[in-house]
Amino acid sequence: MPITEHKMVAGATPHAEGDRIMQICNACRYCEGFCAVFPAMARRLTFTDADISYLANLCHNCGACYYACQYAPPHEFMVNVPRTFAEVRKETYKNYAWPRAFGAAYQRNGLTTAVVTTLALSAFLVGVVQSVNPAVLWGTHTGPGAFYQVIAHNTMVAIFGAAALYVILAFVMGFRQFWADMNEKMGDFVSPASFREAVWNVLTLKYLDGGGEGCTYPDEKPSFTRRTFHHLTFYGFMLCFAATSSGTVYHYLRDFPAPYDFTTLPKILGSLGGIGLLIGPAGLLWLKHRADPMLSDQKSRGMDDGLLGLLFLTSLTGFLIVFLRETSWMGITLTIHLGVVLGLFLMLPYGKFAHAVYRFAALVRYALERRRPNTNASFE
């Protein structure tokens, strides 16, 4: 019978369970070649909560160490690194959230995502209905500046500029606390060699390969499918960001307002990114729902699904605008798209996207540690 229930020692917090498991792994060390977690673990003999948070954020939840482990359930040691670290990561996102009170959003993230998105959509719809003539909302607008006949460009810039600043501030505050708790100096974060190594590891998803054969996710069979879908999502997001940035340059420096045709840089970047954001999140959702429930924190499903769903919807509504932009449906489609994007923005610091910040910080620290003498070398 397959094992589906993850049991921790009664009453243990995720960090305490992480500590217990790391003590066992540190004596075993069979998984040292799988990822960055085990070499980082081997530099320590004891584990503070900050150490466990650090190790958990190095883990990519590939599953390799769970399937390789002779002490995994039903063994009485009940070693389950990916599941325990998934629970610790959720605690990290909650504990380092800014403002702190908003950390509770992680606990009921699926619901929060839906509520925030709906509120954002509603605010946009109400704002549009109140500020423009309904005939404008449902009218047909074509040519440069067509979008801004529905919602003024300055209004869009003000709303999304404020949201972007808020998101950046929330992440900076969370990162600062995380970094300080690991007893690292802020200046070391930008140490060129370590920073470069961490960027490379993020861009290539170096540690989502189960030690080389591929990720044992969604099941025991190694595969690079998850890495491929993650790449499509990540690069799709970055291309869409580049499309928005190039659109801003077109608007302000070339006096060329949206919408753009298919031969322009913003449209090419946006189309490629949009395709990535359709396939990547859909693929990750598909894998997630097929995955062995022992690998992940089932209580985080809402958080994971919320981000992937919003990314997918952002792209889908973006493409709908492209197809409907010469019709009377463009206004309402644009309004919904902007509402979804605003919902996505506002949820970034309080959902799964937070892993991008803390995992990157953990990878920088790992690169820093690799350049320092190992005081536990005698135990290796």
Name the site residues for ligand SF4 (rule: CB under 6 A): 24-25, 28-31, 34-35, 37, 59-65, 68-71, 79, 81-82, 207
CB of 279 to ligand SF4, least distance (A): 24
Phi, psi for 302 (deg, rounded to 5): -60, -40
Whether 94 and 103 have beta carbons less than 8 Å apart is answered as: yes
Structure tokens at 35: 């990822």
Whether 349 and 164 have beta carbons less than 8 Å apart is answered as: no
Q: Which residues contact 240 (CB under 8 A, 6 or more apart)?
A: 269, 270, 273, 274, 277, 314, 315, 318
CB of 110 to ligand SF4, least distance (A): 23
CB of 128 to ligand SF4, least distance (A): 45
Of the pair 34, 345, the CB lying nearest ligand SF4 is at 34
Of the pair 71, 286, the CB lying nearest ligand SF4 is at 71
CB of 47 to ligand SF4, least distance (A): 13
Phi, psi for 223 (deg, rounded to 5): -160, 155
DSSP state of 374: -
Q: Report the C-alpha gap between 37 and 19 in whole angstroms.
A: 13
Q: Report the C-alpha gap between 54 and 180 in whole angstroms.
A: 12
Of the pair 69, 239, the CB lying nearest ligand SF4 is at 69
Of the pair 30, 200, the CB lying nearest ligand SF4 is at 30
Long-range contacts of 171-178 (CB under 8 A, 24+ apart): 171/348, 171/349, 171/354, 171/357, 173/98, 174/96, 174/97, 174/98, 174/349, 174/354, 174/357, 174/358, 175/96, 175/357, 175/358, 175/361, 177/96, 177/98, 178/53, 178/92, 178/96, 178/358, 178/361
CB of 71 to ligand SF4, least distance (A): 5
CB of 227 to ligand SF4, least distance (A): 12
Of the pair 81, 137, the CB lying nearest ligand SF4 is at 81
Of the pair 7, 153, the CB lying nearest ligand SF4 is at 7
CB of 38 to ligand SF4, least distance (A): 6
Q: What angle do CA 31, 352, 314 make, to 5 degrees?
A: 130
Q: Report the C-alpha gap between 246 and 293 in whole angstroms.
A: 42
Of the pair 71, 148, the CB lying nearest ligand SF4 is at 71
DSSP state of 80: -
Whether 56 and 92 have beta carbons less than 8 Å apart is answered as: yes
CB of 10 to ligand SF4, least distance (A): 21
Total Cβ atoms within 10 A of residue 129: 12
Of the pair 63, 174, the CB lying nearest ligand SF4 is at 63
Q: Report the C-alpha gap between 254 and 244 in whole angstroms.
A: 14
CB of 70 to ligand SF4, least distance (A): 6
Of the pair 64, 362, the CB lying nearest ligand SF4 is at 64
